[in-house]
Amino acid sequence: MDNKETIKEGYWSVAAEKHLKNYKDESQNLDEVENLDIAGKAGRFIGTIRGNGTLEYIKKVEKMAGSVGIRKSMLHKIILPAIEKATDKIEVIRDITGEITGVAEYIFDSDNVLEITGEVFENQKPSKIERIAIATMEETRKLPYYQRELIDKLIKEGYSEQDINIALAIQEQFQLIQKVNLTKTNDPIISNEYIWGRNHKKIAAAIASLELEEKQSMKQMIEIIQNSQGVPLEKLPPIDKNLLLLAKKTGILNPAIISSTRGLEKEFEFTPDLLKTDSVNNDILDDVKLLLASIRFGENYTEYSTIQEPEKFLRALINNQKVGPHSANGSDYILLEKRGIVKVSMGSKTNSFGRTRTGYCMELLKKDVAIEALRIIESKEYNIKITDNDENYGIASTVGNFISPEEARIKMGVVPEPVREAQDYLNKVLRDELI
């Protein structure tokens, strides 16, 4: 199979898993997309260990897997064997009894991660339903389709109409696609939440014509977020809640949530053109979003973070590969450690006066992620500090979880009728039917 096709399969496996993980194992029809789920979990795990080299302590491997929702038994019995079978770029280390004791990875970038994920998917012998799901998500990422159009297109690719209808129903059940049926023809429009990344220039035109109150404030909000990626939700100007819900549910905005073990939960907003690239990857593994959200969290909601100039901090981390020692490194970046973006350890540094300081040092493991985050922060429009913060929520060592945009959207539930009508309108705008 062509390398690009394998990467696409990996991309959509990861995207699908970020939805499927929110459903219980006994959910009806979940077995129909089991191979997508396994490949997606494998991909997210590979993305987590990338850059870490050899990990000989299995407990650390298990904790890193846990950060993307993979339980210990699944890791040992399903995920690691599937990865081992699919690639020689990841070595599963075993002791003389055959017990898994660690892993070693030889992965260069996120495209490598997605390619291996696609290979895992192929090795799982996916069903026609799963292949149709990937084809559907890929097509509707580019442009919304009327259902009949999409069915005819997939039939030309060799799938039966019966299988296509089953696949569409299952995808709608697990919110892999969005289906809006408000037209007189009763032919619903099908799209997915990733569509705005390649069509962001049409957003302004679409929003400007919406027959909803405070439409101008939504345009202003989008512009603020485009120029200040990762801005805390509470720092944005007031906006009608239905408009905000519309922006999140349709994928115009990508909300990411950091929650703490003390009950503190903060939402950070991104736009789908975060990386401003046509790359298939487009931060599907959430590494750049997590790094930027962690900087935001550290600036606004932690007691000991001292990052006043994030660009200087990131530049030092990229150029030196390590920063510190500093006490904040041991407490403020736990989520980045869990995702394998940085590594924190004790170290010492002697200054020009001969004084030695000992404490926590932060080592960068995924340089490409930091470079991308720095590019965003250093852009002319970017303003990392929206307002001065006068709140104190305790140290970030209490940070317990990162919720991706896909997961956040699923938790929003059923949208009200005005939002569904607006969503139907936005889909038509994307199809050039109204502008």
Residues 265 and 390 in one domain: yes
Give the per-residue SS3 of the chain: CCHHHHHHHHHHHHHHHHHHCCCCCCCCCHHHHHHHHHHHHHHHHHHHHCCCCEECCHHHHHHHHHCCCCCHHHHHHHHHHHHHHHCCCEEEEECCCCCEEEEEECCCCHHHHHHHHHHHHHHCCCCHHHHHHHHHHHHHHHCCEEHHHHHHHHHHCCCCHHHHHHHHHHHHHCCCCEEECCCCCCCCEEECCCHHHHCHHHHHHHHHCCCCCCHHHHHHHHHHHHHCCCEEHHHCCCCCHHHHHHHHHCCCCEEEEEEECCCCEEEEEECCCCCCCCCCCCCCCCHHHHHHHHHHHHHHHCCCCCCCCHHHHHHHHHHHCEECCCHHHHCCCHHHHHCCCEEEEEEEEECCCCCEEEEEEEEECCHHHHHHHHHHHHCCCCCCCCCCCCCCCCCHHHEEEEECHHHHHHCCCCCCHHHHHHHHHHHHHHCCCCC
Residue 421 belongs to a domain = no
Q: Sign of dihedral through CA atoms 234, 393, 386, 323?
A: negative
Residue 261 belongs to a domain = yes
Contact 53, 73 (CB under 8 A): no
Question: Phi and psi (nearest 5°) for 374?
Answer: -65, -40
Whole-number pLDDT of residue 262? 56
Look at residues 126, 161, 193 and tell me which one is the last residue of a structural domain. Answer: 126
Whole-number pLDDT of residue 388? 44
Whole-number pLDDT of residue 389? 44
pLDDT over 70, % of the chain:
82
Residues 285 and 384 in one domain: yes
Select, from the ranges 18-22, 182-186, 348-352, 379-383, the one with the highest average predicted confidence (pLDDT): 18-22
Q: What is the pLDDT of residues 87-121, one digit of tens each?
A: 999 999 999 999 999 999 999 889 999 999 999 99
Please report which confidence band the pLDDT of residue 390 belongs to, taking 50, 70 and 90 as the band edges: very low
Per the listing, tokens 């317990």 go with 400
Contact 363, 345 (CB under 8 A): yes
Residue 162 belongs to a domain = no
* pLDDT average, residue stretch 400-429: 74
Q: Residue 97 CB: number of other CB atoms within 10 A?
A: 6
* pLDDT average, residue stretch 123-145: 93
Residues 7 and 113 in one domain: yes
With a CB cutoff of 8 Å and minimum separation 6, the contacts of 170 are: 29, 32, 33, 129, 133
Distance CA 34, CA 125 (A): 11
Strand partners, 347: 359
Q: Which residue has the higher pLDDT, 327 or 339?
A: 339
- Assigned token pair, 169: 């129903």
Residue 155 belongs to a domain = no
Residue 148 belongs to a domain = no
User: Is it the case that residue 74 has pLDDT exceeding 90?
Assistant: yes
The residue range of the domain holding 89 is: 3-126
Distance CA 427, CA 386 (A): 32
Residues 221 and 352 in one domain: yes
* pLDDT average, residue stretch 154-160: 96
Residue 387 belongs to a domain = yes
Distance CA 47, CA 290 (A): 13
Whole-number pLDDT of residue 209? 64
User: Is it the case that residue 396 has pLDDT exceeding 60?
Assistant: no
Look at residues 126, 157, 180 and tell me which one is the last residue of a structural domain. Answer: 126
Range with lowest mean pLDDT among 150-164, 168-182, 399-413: 399-413
User: Is it the case that residue 402 has pLDDT exceeding 60?
Assistant: yes
Q: What is the mean pLDDT of the chain?
A: 83
With a CB cutoff of 8 Å and minimum separation 6, the contacts of 155 are: 161, 164
Residue 174 belongs to a domain = no
User: Is it the case that residue 411 has pLDDT exceeding 90?
Assistant: no
Indicate the number of domains in the chain.
2
Q: Which residue has the higher pLDDT, 420 or 152?
A: 152
Question: Phi and psi (nearest 5°) for 349?
Answer: -145, 135
Distance CA 72, CA 56 (A): 16
Q: What is the CA radius of gyration of the chain?
A: 22
Residues 255 and 354 in one domain: yes
- Assigned token pair, 292: 């930027």
- Assigned token pair, 235: 């720092």
Please report which confidence band the pLDDT of residue 239 belongs to, taking 50, 70 and 90 as the band edges: confident
Residues 104 and 247 in one domain: no
- Expressed in angstroms, the distance from the first to the final Cα of the chain is 39
- Assigned token pair, 276: 């401003």
Whole-number pLDDT of residue 393? 38
Distance CA 12, CA 18 (A): 10
Residues 104 and 251 in one domain: no
Residues 103 and 237 in one domain: no
Residues 243 and 387 in one domain: yes
Look at residues 98, 126, 154 and tell me which one is the last residue of a structural domain. Answer: 126
With a CB cutoff of 8 Å and minimum separation 6, the contacts of 219 are: 204, 207, 208
Residues 360 and 262 in one domain: yes
Residue 325 belongs to a domain = yes
User: Is it the case that residue 364 has pLDDT exceeding 70?
Assistant: yes
Distance CA 43, CA 6 (A): 12
Range with lowest mean pLDDT among 82-91, 169-178, 383-392: 383-392
Residues 240 and 362 in one domain: yes
